Structures are given as C-alpha cells and as structure tokens.
Amino acid sequence: MDASIIERLKKEIESFSDSKEATEVGVVRTVGDGIVEIEGLEGAMMAEMISFDESSTADVKSAISKDGALYGVILNLEEDSVKAIVLGDSSRITEGMLVKRTKRLLSIPVGDAIVGRIVDSIGEPIDGKGAIKTDKTMPIERVAYGVMDRAPVNTPMHTGTKAIDSLNPLGRGQRELIIGDRGTGKTTVAIDAILNQLNESKENRPICIYVAIGQKESKTARIATLLQERGAMEYSIIVSAPASAPAAFQFLAPFGGVSIAEYFMEKGKDVLIIYDDLSKQAVAYRQLSLLLRRPPGREAYPGDIFYLHSRLLERAAKLSKEKGGGSITALPIIETQDGDVSAYIPTNVISITDGQLFLEADLFNKGTRPAINVGISVSRVGSAAQTKAMKKVSGRIKLDLAQFRELEAFMQFSQDLDADTKKRIDGGRRLSALLNQKKNAPAPFERQVVAIYAVTNGFFDAYSAEKISDVEEKFLAFLDREAKGVLEAIKTEKAISEKTEADLKSAIQSFVSSLG
C-alpha cells in the first residue's frame, strides 16, 4: 500500500480525534489466510473485537459513524501494529480499509431462548429457525472462578452407561476426559450422557451443550436429528464449527460453548458440556499461531497450547451456595493415534482433567461396547459423586474385573485350571457381558443397580456370559411387571435399605424360578 495514502489517513484520523464521536481507528496493512495486520489502534486490547468498515476508505468521518458488518478479534499486540483473526469472509477485506475499536472483548449473545437451537462459534443461529432473543452478552474469554467460590463435587451426573456410573462415576462440576482412537465410540458415550438426562426429573435435569469442533456437518446433523427425535433438544444446545469453517471459528467454538454454559451456571443451573474434540481445536490454534508468526514449539504447536486448554477447562466448576450453586460438568474428547496416550496434546489434557475414560480399539474390535478399558480409566472424584445404592453394589466390580483380566491372559497359556480360578474367570466374563450396552440406550441408575446387584451376588451364576444380556433384559422387564416398587424405592431413596434389599432378593429369586 502507498505510504502517502497511509500518512494522509493518519492525519485525517488525528484531526478527527477531538470530536465527541471519535474512536480509535486503524488501517489494514496486509490481509491473507484470515489474518489481518493493522496499523494504528494503539490503545487496542488483547481479544478485543474490531470492526472492519467496507465503505470508502477516503471518508474517515463516515467510516467511523457507520457500523461495519464484518468483525475480527485481536490476537497479537506488536510494537507498531496489531494482528487479528477475521470472523467471517476475509476476501471482503482489502488493504487500506478502515478498522475501528469496539472497546469490548469478544462476547457471545446468550439467553434462555438459545436452548434447543444450533449456533455457530459466536452465537449466531445456523438452524434456519430465525433470530434468537437474547438477554445479555457473555465474554468468550474470562478468568475462571477461584477456589473460595467453589463447592465440593458430590452430586452425581449420571451418564446412563454402566461402565461409567459404576466404575468411573462423574460428579456435577467435574472434568472427565474421553480419550481414544478414531472410531472407538467416544462421541457415542458423550451423546448417551445427554440422552440419559431424559431419565432425570425436569427440575434436576442439566442443560446440555454439544460443541462440534472440526466435525463433518453430516455427523452434527445426525446428532441433532437424534436429539430431536428423542426429545432431548428441549434441554440441549449445539455449537457447531465444522471442518469447512475457518480455523478461527474452530478455535473459538469451545470458548463460545463454555460462555453459554456460564450464563446458565450463574443462574444456579447445572450444565453438561461436551467438547468434540479438543485435538481439532489444538490444530486450528496451531494454524492460527503459525500464521500470526508466533514461535513454534514441540510438534509446531505454540508455547501456550497447554494454557489454551487449561483456561478453557478450569471454567468447569461447582459453585458454592453463595454464588448460586450452579455447575458446569465438562466432557472434553481427545483423539489419539494408535492408542498413544503419551503424545503431547493427550498428556496435556489428562493433566488438566479430573480423570479419563480410555476407549481401546482392541476392546472395540472384540465387540465390547462401550470399549472402555477399566484398568486405565479413572475418575479422581470417584465414589464421592455416587449414590449410596450404586456405591453398595459396585464396590467390588473394579477389583474383580482387574483380576479377571490377569487370569484371562494367564488362561491363554494353560488349559488346566482349578475350580476356583475357573469360577473367577466365568464371573469376570459375566461382569464384562453385563457392562456391555447398546448404542444410544442409556440406562437409568436404578436399573443399573438392580442388574449389577443380581450378577455380583451370584444370582445369575447358572447362566453363561453369552446369555447375560438376554437374562438382564428379561429380569428388568420382570421387575417392571411384578416388582416396580423396588425400582421406585431405589430411585427415590438413592440407597438400598434393608427392606428394599429383601424385596429385591425375593424378586430375583422369583424371576430365576420363572426361568426354570
């Protein structure tokens, strides 16, 4: 761009700066790949929104008084210029275009009407249902709540997946990583957690937010259709930044999602947010950082890649009663390459979260659904967030399954087993079969409790592992017909009283007798 034009624009801006309508104005120096370098804007802030004016660059006064339709976000503050990412079509920006400060950080419009809608990274509706009535705006970047503003995580967040609710229980306000190779069922586990909230009472049901980062639009559409058909969109929001979206939108999508979540948390509500997946956000951020000329580090990621995810996930919290008692439960998803959990991004996110659910390709290929490796998976909140009923029946499962895995490996080398070892192996196979679950069929926790109780107490020992799934289905149908009071008692009390246990034993014995 001609230096004389820039000088003339600077003089006009300076001469205009004394008027009441004045705002700080800059000029586009270069533009390319969604990154804009701007001269001027000396008072600009990091993450501030800027407005590009598409009218004549010669008329400075009209450019300032007219609000431009195209926005950007400042990410680099340099000695004599600033660099920003464009939130939209960067081909509309030309050298010499005027840019003005908005003097506010990038924010997202929020309100109760956003529930049930599909929006993009900055809260604009993309589902064709018209505008969303919003109450306020929430900054996309903000400092997470401090320790004194938080309460202990002790309320269960039921996922409807037996392998999680019994072995790696989640609490409201927890951050639990879902990690595994591509195609091992990570998204299915997360979506089942959303569907399972239909089993919660309306007053206890969390708002669910699914953030799709770099996913195929067809996949997001299938998820939206599934949630709509099941009636789960009534309490769900989808934030979509598909693979076809610019890197800036993929980078901002999780922050947009958690800002919406914070709006509801601050109203005292519980929120479940799923980031699918943060590996793709990291790649988008790496792309932006390299274009912004930031120094590359390990695997070409910028030095602050850990901070990118930590400041996002730290915003998940259980607030104290003084702050309203709301919560955000985060389920970030990370994709591994050939099960390598020791890679750069996986280890980063593992160290930030309160546990991980590791989905293993080998288990998936053997037919285990969900393919959760109970040996590696862990929840650092643990039984503090379990109901008494589930705690009572699931106490020995993890130990029994771990012993079974060792014995199963040993069995490959020896066919001559003693009776006790054979009994342990058969019991382990029944437990493994019990934890198998169909896709998109989450089970209410009271139904999980009675099934686990029956298997762990030896009532189904007469049946082989192959028949356990069938027996479980018939048993639950029997309880619905003959002993519904047992299920209702466990659901209401969230514990197994002596009377309930006696009734449950009696019902199981009646069921086993009926099978003959």
Q: How far is residue 318's CA from residue 151's CA, in Å, rounded to a whole number? A: 6
> Alpha-carbon Rg of the chain, whole angstroms?
27
Q: How far is residue 440's CA from residue 74's CA, in Å, rounded to a whole number? A: 42
Q: How far is residue 153's CA from residue 187's CA, in Å, rounded to a whole number? A: 24
CA angle 116, 244, 226 (to 5 degrees): 35
Contact 52, 64 (CB under 8 A): no
Q: How far is residue 117's CA from residue 252's CA, in Å, rounded to a whole number? A: 18
Instruction: Measure Cα distances from 42 to 16, 26, 80 in Å.
Output: 16, 8, 8
Contact 96, 77 (CB under 8 A): no
As beta bridge partners, residue 87 has: 71
Is 481 a catalytic site residue?
no
Helix (H, G, I), strand (E, B) or coil at 101: strand
Structure-derived torsion over alpha carbons of residues 358, 362, 367, 373, reported in degrees to the nearest 10: -30
Q: How far is residue 255's CA from residue 315's CA, in Å, rounded to a whole number? A: 10
Among candidate residues 142, 150, 311, 380, the one labeled active-site is 380
- CA 8 from chain centre, in angstroms, equals 50
As beta bridge partners, residue 156 has: 171
Q: How far is residue 66's CA from residue 54's CA, in Å, rounded to a whole number? A: 10
In terms of phi and psi (left: phi > 0; alpha: psi -120 to 50; beta: otherwise), the region of 15 is alpha
As given in the structure block, the two tokens for residue 389 are 């009923």
Burial (CB < 10 A; 0-12, 13-18, 19+), residue 301, is buried
Instruction: Measure Cα distances from 346 to 183, 244, 253 in Å.
Output: 17, 24, 19
Most distant CA atoms of the chain, gap in Å: 96
Catalytic residues: 380
